[in-house]
């Protein structure tokens, strides 16, 4: 069984202080995808770069204290790819790919548009410019018989059951009609599979992965499901279990773990 975990850390040093690495040591994960490092490589201690039993790889943003993604893996990857060839967003550290035999795992962090109209327009640019990469990956997977998994914070709640207050958020970033239609196209037109939703098609509150720090969103479970594991069909068919861990809080996001009956070799 292959166990893959994804989590937006909202600051790797902050999450470390809240015990994320102690918890990870108990999870028997094979690959861990993390987002929003908010750190450059010189900021990372040896324990954060390579926790016990893991290899660590990172794509940090050029801007200090901002964005950044990483992958921890038990098995050393055959290849690491930083960025997807777009200067604007590669500078923000949003895409890191690790290849293991016939499996590729990507740690992905889509922009948030909630802070300003300028950032929302940047998010729309990302969606437009990332779609060809999704097409290329899907084509490569079909031609080469590879399976690909995109893990991370997509900053879009796809359906009404993916957030608590959907009615009042229809004009807000993360649940805009254009964003939701883009994600639908990723599934319906390009053939990618939302693994969590495939395993638990009707899950609501137990599937949320992010809660605002405002009010009592966490306490009242007023959440959003915006963290995904999105896979090629063959890998998605091998998924056996998905779970969001909420017993401890390491970030404003919660870890999403999926078990796959799949071997990389």
Residues that are catalytic: 153
First to last CA, the chain: 13
Distance in angstroms (rounded) separating the CA atoms of residues 89 and 184 = 22
Continuous segment of H or E residues that includes residue 107: strand 103-109
DSSP state of 257: E
Query: In 62-81, which positions are buried (b, 16+ CB within 10 angstroms) versus exposed (e)?
Result: eeeeebbbbbbbeeebeeeb
DSSP secondary structure, 123-181, as one string:
HHHHHHHHHHHHHHHHHHHHHHT-EEEEEEE-----SGGGBTTTGGGTTSTTS-HHHHH
Distance in angstroms (rounded) separating the CA atoms of residues 253 and 181 = 24
Query: In 29-41, which positions are buried (b, 16+ CB within 10 angstroms) versus exposed (e)?
Result: bbbbbbbbbbbbe
Phi, psi of 54 (to 5 degrees): -120, 150
CB atoms within 10 A of CB 247: 6
């Amino acid at each position: 069984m292959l166990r893959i975990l994804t989590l937006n850390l909202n600051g790797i040093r902050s999450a470390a202080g809240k015990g994320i690495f102690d918890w990870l040591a108990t999870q028997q994960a094979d690959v861990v995808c993390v987002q929003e490092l908010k750190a450059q490589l010189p900021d990372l201690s040896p324990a954060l770069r390579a926790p016990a039993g893991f290899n660590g790889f990172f794509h940090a943003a050029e801007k200090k204290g901002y964005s950044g993604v990483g992958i921890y893996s038990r098995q050393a990857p055959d290849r690491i790819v930083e960025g997807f060839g777009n200067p604007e967003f590669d500078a923000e550290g949003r895409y890191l790919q690790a290849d293991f035999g016939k499996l590729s795992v990507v740690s992905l962090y889509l922009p948030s548009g909630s802070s300003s109209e300028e950032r929302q327009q940047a998010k729309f640019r990302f969606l437009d410019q990332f779609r060809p990469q999704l097409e290329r990956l899907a084509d490569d997977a079909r031609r080469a018989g590879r399976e690909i998994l995109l893990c991370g914070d997509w900053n879009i709640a796809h359906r009404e059951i993916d957030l608590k207050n959907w009615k009042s958020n229809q004009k807000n970033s993360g649940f805009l009609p254009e964003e939701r239609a883009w994600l639908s196209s990723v599934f319906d037109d390009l053939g990618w599979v939302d693994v969590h939703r495939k395993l638990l098609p009707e899950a609501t509150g137990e599937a949320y992965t992010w809660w605002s720090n405002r009010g009592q969103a966490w306490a009242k479970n007023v959440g959003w499901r915006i963290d995904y594991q999105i896979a090629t069909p063959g890998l998605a068919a091998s998924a056996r279990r998905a779970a969001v861990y909420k017993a401890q809080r390491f970030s404003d996001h919660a870890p999403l773990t999926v078990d796959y009956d799949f071997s990389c070799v």
